[in-house]
Amino acid sequence: MNIKATNLHLAYGSDAVLHDINFEINEPKIYGLLGRNGAGKTSLLSIIGSFREATSGQLHINGEEPFENARIMQEVILMYDKDFTGETDPPSNIIEHIKRYRPHFDLEYAMELLKKFKLEGKKPVAKLSKGKQSAFNVVVGLASRSPITIFDEVYLGMDAPARDLFYKELLKDQELHPRIIILSTHLVSEMDYLFDEVIIINEGKILLQEPYDDIVSRGVTVVGSKQSVDTFAAGKEILNEEQLGDTRSVTIYGETSEADRLSALELGLTIGPVSLQDLFIQLTKEED
């Protein structure tokens, strides 16, 4: 499967939300989609999920526009924080009907997941707790085995053990049935180990799209005396700096060569890694 955005633009009335963005997703991997509140994540995912049309530019899935395209819609599932008001059926009844419009749906796996997430009862979905409704979304998303599977913040209502179960199932099932999985989340430090690739969207633009390992290997923290840190950091891209007495700590973004590491050692500095969450915070922070 291939997702390709070319000068993709979305506006709500006169408010532009996605600004001529370009990116491509080709491989069956897990993609983490990160962005601050209002950055445009849900807007972008709703175009991929064929919930809405772009204002201009193109979003193609396997070369076709997904909007009102039945063939493409069968291949993509977008799970979001759905309002289940009025849903009188229990989870097990609903999933029995999904196969009709989701060709890759695995009913046996869905039943197994209902059991794992303790959703086998006869209670209507509308009367389930918020977290159980979220877990039901997760079950449908996983068992759909759609070649493009998108989870837009569905896990927020789930408690920590349920989220942990979801992450384990996701990794296990992705290993057996690789597909493009896009996870939009604010739980960056909790979920970063799931991501093969990271896409950061900021104010309606793609800030970066890179393998997880490449991003985190590019950020370092350097701690030491003010003078030594300043000497080391001169000419480098500094994302953040903090000072306590004479001790200075800076977050640097960019390749750190072997020569850099040696010079840090000579200057008596301590070099450490930076988490994806810290990099995300620094890369998307607003200027004062």
Which residues are near ligand ATP by CB under 6 A? 12, 15, 17, 35, 37-43
Residue 251 Cβ vs ligand ATP, minimum distance, rounded to whole Å: 23
Residue 17 Cβ vs ligand ATP, minimum distance, rounded to whole Å: 4
Residue 34 and residue 192: Cα distance in Å, rounded? Answer: 10
Q: At what angle do helices 160-176 and 107-116 cross, to 10 degrees?
A: 160
Residue 42 Cβ vs ligand ATP, minimum distance, rounded to whole Å: 3
Q: Which is nearer to ligand ATP, 67 or 94 (CB)?
A: 67
Q: Which is nearer to ligand ATP, 14 or 85 (CB)?
A: 14
Q: Which is nearer to ligand ATP, 15 or 175 (CB)?
A: 15
Residue 15 Cβ vs ligand ATP, minimum distance, rounded to whole Å: 6
Residue 59 Cβ vs ligand ATP, minimum distance, rounded to whole Å: 14
Q: Which is nearer to ligand ATP, 17 or 267 (CB)?
A: 17
Instruction: Identify which of 236, 239, 170, 250 has the alpha carbon closest to the alpha carbon of residue 207.
Output: 239
**Burial label, 205 (beta-carbon count in 10 A; 0-12, 13-18, 19+):** middle
Q: Which is nearer to ligand ATP, 38 or 178 (CB)?
A: 38
Phi and psi angles of residue 198, each rounded to the nearest 5 degrees, phi first: -125, 135
Residue 123 and residue 88: Cα distance in Å, rounded? Answer: 8
Between the alpha carbon of residue 226 and those of residues 247, 257, 265, the distances in Å are 6, 21, 15
